[in-house]
Structure 1
């Protein structure tokens, strides 16, 4: 696929995701908390892609393959497939095992708050490299992220029970990781 056709495809995907996110935001009376934030992120991505298309920004083809769209698409698809979505991109505060205050972004809060979803749009190869310690500086492995989610969820009970945590992999995982 040429860089131009890939760019056109990404722009089409971004426009479609904006429509879906806007529809999702209106799907619940009073809206979904964080819906506007999700739409803003998608619109920013579209604006960037349109600047690239207009020749105002020069990027490599590899940058087109690793846009934020994969993660944002995973969030939209997760939210569309769950019941009682109350929030997207919700920030929870918690105290880590060392007693330090931390924040955690939960991609989708569903089932009236009883389910937290981490939508993962990265390719299996990238996840595997991070898991092996070959990621970029600051990349957390899936295990570290799961530990953070568990720690935070135990400090955010919903009707006296801890939220269920789902890690939704949209581009599969390697066999050793599974």
Structure 2
């Protein structure tokens, strides 16, 4: 397989990256049924070779099997339309498999994001990238883009722009990078249209065929009597309409808070995400915990502390959070800070209390200001009111959040609210719990 890529442009506004590739595998002499069988075997082999892809390969296999069953049912029927056997989903599913192989940290495939009305064919890079696979002929795609497609067919350029807008809605703080993968190429005119929208196009570009040009000239002639608009140029037929998409609203800060607090929050919201980070209670406790500051070599009577000390010896939790706290504004909300000190006053030892004061001096504390979308989260075993306030304030501030509360992050994602969280292992305050004079034997 030939897969051509290049480094993303340094322009930050370009969040869509379109890739074109062609398969060198010779499927020309195979019927669709044989292709589907080979694709199913290839997917099973990938799952065996890479255990991290077992779940996504199982999901892809179910899609392939459904197509395979359809082909098997209709292969020998005399009244079956030839189009049914030659226009299966096998080329598209083959493209999905190729993209999985070329991607890192694949989380999901053919993911129906009903909230946005789109399907992300491959979600990878720990959720930071959405990829869309398009397996149609570039000439057919061009006709559709130019307004000559069959009724109901969707324009790829508009769809790509919708993906970009939905990515911004998905996370205002750190939108996923959208990647559209064309399996069979893209015309020069479509590529230019995409680039004019800030979308990168990489890969083989093809000329518009004479047959397509003739059809489009007919469209142009028919419409020229009705309007003198520049839209009559067939290259602009695919230009996307202005979308009625707006970012999730937040609770009115100015009305709910004193002027100084409202100003502080607005200033934090305007900072770029890499200049600020929100600290959850769990993160603040890790930072000051004795077990993370040399105390992991001691023995403990409590099982949870023994387990956390052992985990700390294997890998320091501070190595995850400290780099993300360096040269950034540290922010938390009043509820988190109050609960943090409530724990410190009861559980902390002398050194842990000292570190707690030093950390507090570095943190900007804002009033609880939950965003509207977090206020709408339905309560569950993992969705507690206190966590909604903390995570909702981080969302309102457009901050990434450092946390070990993975349960809340997953539960929120199940309700279509995706949190830009930096997850780390939890650690309890341990200074007063260690057995003095007794250290862990190596």
In the superposition, the TM-score normalised over structure 1's length comes to 0.79
Corresponding residue number in structure 2 for 1:147: 161
Which of 167, 170, 174 aligns to 1:161? It is 174
Contact 1:107 1:117 in 2 (8 A): yes
Q: 4+ residue stretches of structure 1 with deviation over 6 A?
A: none
Corresponding residue number in structure 2 for 1:127: 141
Q: Once superposed, what is the RMSD of the aligned Cα atoms? A: 2.6
Is 1:9 matched up with 2:31? yes
User: Per-residue displacement from partner, 1:15-74 (whole Å, max 9, x unpaired)?
Assistant: 1211233344563448435x44422221121112222333365122x4433221111111
Corresponding residue number in structure 2 for 1:79: 100
Aligned partners of 2:136, 2:85: CA distance in 1, in Å? 14
Q: Which runs of 5+ in 1 are unaligned?
A: 1-5, 95-101
Aligned partners of 1:25, 1:126: CA distance in 2, in Å? 34
Corresponding residue number in structure 1 for 2:111: 90
Question: More deviation in 129-138 or 161-170?
Answer: 129-138
Which of 122, 125, 137 aligns to 1:111? It is 125
Structure 1 position 150, deviation (Å)? 1.2
| CA 48–7 in structure 1, closer or farther in 2 if over 3 Å, else same | farther
> Larger RCO: Structure 1 or Structure 2 (Cα < 8 Å, ≥ 6 residues apart)?
1
**SS state of the match for residue 161, structure 2?**
helix
Question: How many residue pairs align between the two structures?
Answer: 164
Corresponding residue number in structure 2 for 1:47: 69
Corresponding residue number in structure 2 for 1:98: none
| CA 136–37 in structure 1, closer or farther in 2 if over 3 Å, else same | farther
Structure 1 position 161, deviation (Å)? 1.0
Corresponding residue number in structure 2 for 1:22: 44
**SS state of the match for residue 133, structure 1?**
coil
| CA 57–116 in structure 1, closer or farther in 2 if over 3 Å, else same | farther
Which of 185, 188, 192 aligns to 1:175? It is 188
